[in-house]
Amino acid sequence: MRVLGLVASPRRVGNSEIIIQEMLNILPETWGKEVIRLNNLQIERCKACYACLPHDKSCVINDDLNFLLDRIRAADKVIIVSPVYALGQQTTLKLINDRMICIQNKAGHYFTGKQCVIVIPHTVEGWEGYAREATMHFARFFGLNITGTAVMRASLPSDITEVSMLGKIRELTLSLIDNSTVNFDDIEKIYCPDCSSSFLQLFHKGRWRCVICGSTGDLKVSEGNYNITWDIPEHRRFTLKGIQEHGQRLSKLKEEFAQRKKEQVAVLTRNKADNANKNSDLEANRDWSNNE
């Protein structure tokens, strides 16, 4: 069994580092264990060129993304530990997320179904923001199967060693061993029945929509409690079929994009020529006026 730990923090003695080492120490000694500190990777910004969309093509940017994809592909289970800095996901995760278009037609062959657990340490109570949803979104774009998430308030490195936090860390780690699911979600909150996001848009007439996975449904009040029903779509966004369908749509858009680009270039070229002619006429008029 091979487990890969992804740490999205530049601090070498911070909470994220302590958490990943604690989890790896709990796992059996016979397991293969590897840690990648995402901030040490050279990951460039997406160029939105769509060159990677065909099934047999990879991203044309020569950086460490393919190395990361290879390591995730080789792992059986994945641990993601990512801190909260400004109410959202750590910068490196977002940078990688923007490049995930390159596996839209390939995710099912390499990544889908690998068990994944997530730990998100943050500093100030109530300032965890959307980090949980964003980090889950990061994992699901790889097709990983999230079986547990834990959001923990830990400001200083020693905070994460409190008994209650270590208990959650241990429970998450043991779930990797027995392939079980751990639920630390707040029972007072309403979550999406598909992706467990708490990002639900509410509409008039009792409708709701999840902004992460796109699920929709009805919201009703019964005895002072909200109850939601789910319109199960044909292809859920983060399933194998859903991810591949999105890749196919982008491939079709790529063809239309190329055609539209040619048309737009032609329009801009004509406009440039027209503006040049107008400027020439204006200069000629100025010369004529000055000669009078």
Residue among 141, 78, 68, 80 nearest 115 (CA) = 78
Domain-embedded: residue 259: no
Q: Report pTM.
A: 0.81
Domain-embedded: residue 286: no
Residue among 113, 114, 196 nearest 150 (CA) = 196
pLDDT of residue 290 exceeding 60 = no
Euclidean distance between CA atoms 251 and 55, whole angstroms: 10
Domain-embedded: residue 203: no
Mean pLDDT of the chain: 83
β-strands 2-7, 32-37 pairing = parallel
- Sequence-separated contacts (24+) of 156-165 with Cβ below 8 Å: 157/13, 157/14, 157/15, 157/18, 159/15, 160/15, 160/18, 160/19, 160/121, 161/18
CATH classification of the domain holding 104 = 3.40.50.360
The 3-class SS string of 245-260 reads HHHHHHHHHHHHHHHH
Domain-embedded: residue 7: yes
DSSP letter for 187, please: T
- Residue 276, token pair as written in the block: 């040049």
Q: Comparing 157 with 128, which gets the higher pLDDT?
A: 128
Domain-embedded: residue 205: no
β-strands 2-7, 77-81 pairing = parallel
149 neighbors 118 (Cβ within 8 angstroms) = yes
37 neighbors 71 (Cβ within 8 angstroms) = no
pLDDT digits (tens, 9 = 90+) for 96-140: 988 888 877 665 556 778 999 999 987 667 667 778 888 998 898
170 neighbors 177 (Cβ within 8 angstroms) = no
Whole-number pLDDT of residue 280 = 59
User: DSSP string covering 114-158, please?
Assistant: -EEEEEEEESSTT--TTHHHHHHHHHHTTT-EEEEEEEEE--SGG
Sole residue written with tokens 């467990």: 196
Whole-number pLDDT of residue 284 = 52
Sign of the alpha-carbon dihedral angle for 264, 55, 113, 144: negative
Domain-embedded: residue 115: yes
CA torsion angle 110 116 121 124 (round to 10)? 100
pLDDT of residue 86 exceeding 80 = no
113 neighbors 143 (Cβ within 8 angstroms) = yes
215 neighbors 193 (Cβ within 8 angstroms) = yes
Range(s) of the domain holding residue 116: 2-178
Residue among 158, 156, 159, 160 nearest 119 (CA) = 160
pLDDT of residue 291 exceeding 70 = no
Percent of the chain residues topping a pLDDT of 70: 85
Domain-embedded: residue 234: no
Euclidean distance between CA atoms 121 and 14, whole angstroms: 10
* Number of independent structural domains in the chain: 1
Q: What are the strands of the beta sheet with 115-122, ordered from one edge?
A: 32-37, 2-7, 77-81, 115-122, 145-153
Domain-embedded: residue 17: yes
Percent of the chain residues topping a pLDDT of 90: 30
